[in-house]
Amino acid sequence: MSKTTTPTPQHHGVIVVGGGQAGLSVSHYLQQRRIDHLVIEKSQPMHSWRTQRWDAFCLVTPNWQCKLPGWEYSGNDPHGFMKKDEILAYLEGFKQHVNAPLVEGVAVKRVAPRRQGGFEVSTSQGEFTADQVVVASGGYHQPIIPRMAERLPPDVVQIHSEQYRNPQALPEGAVLVVGCGQSGAQIAEDLHLGGRKVFLATGNAPRCARFYRGKDVVDWLADMGYYEKSVNEHPLREGVRDNTNHYVTGRDGGRDIDLRKFASEGMELFGLLKGLDGEVLQFEGDLAENLDHADRIYNGINASIDQFIAASGIEAPPGEVYKPLWQPKEERLSLDLRAAGITSIVWCIGFQPDFSWLDAPVFNGKGHPGHVRGVTAVPGLYFIGLPWLHTWGSGRFSGVARDALFLAQQIEARRPEAVVLAENQEEMSLLS
């Protein structure tokens, strides 16, 4: 009777988990350093860009900020905003440019440190080992939908923002959008422009101007060094990673998103959704507070631009302070689904991370990894592609190249041959 032998796991110097723009950026720099590695992608590269964006989706930052390593935007509209198909074409070009050692359709089931050093990597296609591992799977894994959704009438269609495509894809009737962050505000606008009756449950999301004093606000903030500021330099320190993104849009050449304007045109606004009693939704009485908070942030950003212009002696068109063009007359604290004719709900309250496959002691109480610029306390384990990994630009096309380069340098310094060389050099210095 023959013995069954266990196949020897395939070994790589580095395994990168995730084949999106972050993982491919790491591969770009590892290839430059001739470091053996493998990128493992559970679906296909840029999967979320293809399947989790609505039809009218476009960038909210100008095209010139698309600076993936070796693949900067080269079109004729640097101050425009690429639409979904253009973004996919840009990213496909980046994939071809990098030409990473990549396997697609392979799910990573478990990553764990080994006692003898390095990592075990279990996948749907077999076992691997690696000296070092880069987690490039992002931080937006599980759509957040509150438990109250289970008690809503079964004939009310419920989808998450990642499933939304266009107004026509929803059943006839009014739509409730829950959440006014970047996705919620833009989806509410898309439905509103599509002629749908929209009810919007707001939160404390901030907003900013699209253009101010002759330039895109992103251009001003770049000139002011905001995208270079590290998380350690921010007043909130690591707390800034929990902040909601400012809502604004690049649609139709770019413009502000002003919920007050929508309200004056017939969209009905409410405070934070807090409960459900039968078929009646219940809201906090904080609509006016939420709108005022967004406007304070809006005016505060513009004021900082005013100060920069004055201090730099820049000639620019005059500035102005936003003044509310609509105010809620009363705080409506409830909404009857049937009476309002609501037939569908779009949940736009974000995602939560799911790193359950990563068996390493690097997470905080909220399931987020602890790290310094992507480097964890577990030797050889890194993260990339997370908001504020290092700077505000880390979660954008503008900052991922710098993060990937930094990690490639850390990886290069930790290679077994590099460690041996460093130890030998230290011994020689002690003997001399």
pLDDT (mean) for 195-218: 97
34 three-class SS: coil
Q: Which of 148, 157, 152, 160 is nearest to 275 (CA)?
A: 148
**Percentage of the chain modeled with pLDDT above 70:** 93
pLDDT in tens, 284-333: 999 999 999 999 999 999 999 999 999 999 999 999 999 999 999 988 99
Q: In this structure, what token pair is assigned to residue 427?
A: 């011994």
pLDDT reported for residue 230: 81
pLDDT reported for residue 323: 95
Q: % helix / strand / coil in the chain, to the nearest 5?
A: 35, 25, 45
User: Cα–Cα distance between 192 and 195 in angstroms, integer?
Assistant: 5
Confidence of residue 418 (pLDDT cuts 50, 70, 90): low
pLDDT (mean) for 228-250: 75
User: Cα–Cα distance between 73 and 195 in angstroms, integer?
Assistant: 34
pLDDT reported for residue 120: 98
Indicate if the alpha-carbon torsion angle 409, 106, 54, 334 is positive or negative. negative
274 three-class SS: strand
pLDDT (mean) for 221-232: 87
Q: In this structure, what token pair is assigned to residue 343?
A: 């037939």
- What b/e sequence results for 3-27 when a residue is b if at least 16 CB atoms lie within 10 Å of its CB, and e otherwise? eeeeeeeeebbbbbbbbbbbbbbbb
17 three-class SS: strand
User: Cα–Cα distance between 166 and 176 in angstroms, integer?
Assistant: 14
Which residues pair with residue 39 across a beta bridge?
Answer: 16, 102
pLDDT (mean) for 84-101: 97
pLDDT reported for residue 51: 87
Domains and CATH numbers, the chain: 10-141+353-427 (3.50.50.60), 144-347 (3.50.50.60)
pLDDT at 422 over 50: no
Assess contact for 380 and 49: CB atoms under 8 A: no
pLDDT (mean) for 134-138: 93
pLDDT (mean) for 170-193: 97
User: Cα–Cα distance between 159 and 142 in angstroms, integer?
Assistant: 13
For the chain, the distance separating the N- and C-terminal CA atoms, rounded to the nearest angstrom, is: 61
Assess contact for 46 and 71: CB atoms under 8 A: no
pLDDT in tens, 55-64: 999 999 999 9
User: Cα–Cα distance between 150 and 428 in angstroms, integer?
Assistant: 68
User: Cα–Cα distance between 247 and 210 in angstroms, integer?
Assistant: 10
Q: Which of 138, 136, 185 is nearest to 161 (CA)?
A: 185
More confident residue, 397 or 233: 397
Confidence of residue 364 (pLDDT cuts 50, 70, 90): confident
Q: Are strands 102-104 and 37-41 parallel, antiparallel or unpaired?
A: parallel
pLDDT reported for residue 427: 44
Answer yes or no: pTM beyond 0.85. yes
